[in-house]
Amino acid sequence: MSEQTASNAAFIKIMKQYGGIFLSLIILCVIFSLTSGRFLSVANFTNILQQVAVIAIAAFGMTWVILLGEIDLSIGSIIAVAGMVGAQCFAFGLGFAPALAITVLAGALLGFVNGALTAKLLLPSFIVTVATMGIYRGLVSLPTNGAPAMIDNETWTAIGSDSFLGLPIIIWIVVVLFLINHILLSKTTFGRRAYLTGGNREAAVYSGIKVDRLKISIFMISGVMAAISGVLLSSRLFSAQTNAGMSYELDAIAAAVLGGTSLAGGVGTMVGTLIGALIIGVMNNGMNMMSVPYFYQLIVKGLVILIAVWLDVRSKRAKA
């Protein structure tokens, strides 16, 4: 009996937290199923998940950053850098494992630069990552003078096209990274410290939290997630493109914010971000199926983000 009320309370809590956004996702699905006969199918949903993977993974990293009250605008550029680093590794004759390791490390390094500039030079992360967004994007073109680089490593390209136990590998990667980020955020002291510091940086300092180190670590997580997104994107394209991941940071921010992450810091979950990414994926996919012109899609997406942020701010004000 008491067990049942406890599980009821937990259910109510989950519905309070994610009910609204989950409902939006379902409503979108219903609308698109009615307007397009092909929308509601296993094949299409697998397709959506694959399309959304790159954004979702980048958004996991972005959630950490926004949770801390910061922003990382450079992840689109890091996505492109990652693809190019992988391609260059193969050009130097490295195998899959070392190439992957170097690519992920490159993401960590670029994230470290963002974090160190923000934490140690006390620059606003918005400014720092606007600058590094340009710098990193420029770096992508250095090895090839702006030309795309083909990737012919079969393991690398298999990531984007093969399946494992009936599911595309790309979806497995999203699931695993979701679980890692979710557990790190909700079950560890590291995650707790991120919540506390995002909620009140000053109080965190007085409570002995090493805020600078935390900030740098979190920008590194963001860099690593973006690099993994870059691996997936380049494997699906069989190449590293200099304009890959352009403006993906905006989709990642949108996914996190749709999922309830507060730009003021201190609030947000990986579950919310995953649902937010799915909403963006469903919108893209559904509107494509309805043959909505691209420029209308931009308008609709922008409006959806505005409404989500407005709802977020409004509920904050109601609490205060």
Q: Which of helix, strand or coil describes residue 41?
A: coil
Which lies closer to another protein via its Cβ, residue 168 or residue 265? Answer: 265
Mark 282-311 with x for binding to another protein (rule: CB under 8 A) and - for no binding.
------------------------------
Return the number of the residue (7 or 35) whose C-beta is nearest another protein.
7
In whole angstroms, the minimum distance from the beta carbon of 314 to another protein comes to 16
Cβ proximity to another protein: between 38 and 210 the closer is 210
Q: How many CB atoms lie within 10 A of CB 267?
A: 17
Amino acid at 92: F
Residue 72's φ and ψ, nearest 5 degrees, are -130, 105
Nearer of residues 149 and 214 to another protein, judged by Cβ = 214
CB-count exposure of residue 47 (10 Å: 0-12, 13-18, 19+): middle
- Based on the shown chain and the rule CB under 8 A, indicate whether residue 266 belongs to the binding site for another protein: yes
Q: Least Å distance between CB 131 and another protein?
A: 23
Tokens found for residue 293: 């012109």
Number of residues lying near another protein (CB under 8 A):
22
Shortest distance, position 12 Cβ to another protein, whole Å: 13
Q: What span, in angstroms and rounded, lies between the C-alpha atoms of 264 and 248?
A: 21
Nearest to 107 by CA among 18, 159, 177: 177
**Shortest Å, Cβ 252 to another protein:** 23
**How near is the Cβ of 48 to another protein at its closest, in Å?**
33
DSSP 276: H
Residue 3 in contact with another protein, rule: CB under 8 A: no
Residue 249, CA atoms < 13 Å, CB-side half-sphere: 23
Verify binding: residue 315, another protein, rule CB under 8 A.
no
What are φ and ψ of residue 181, in 5° steps?
-65, -40
Provide the Cα torsion 259, 170, 43, 278; round to 10°: 10
Q: Which of residues 169-228 bind another protein (CB under 8 A)?
A: 187-190, 192-193, 195-196, 199-200, 202-208, 210
Report the interface residues with another protein, using CB under 8 A: 187-190, 192-193, 195-196, 199-200, 202-208, 210, 266-267, 319-320
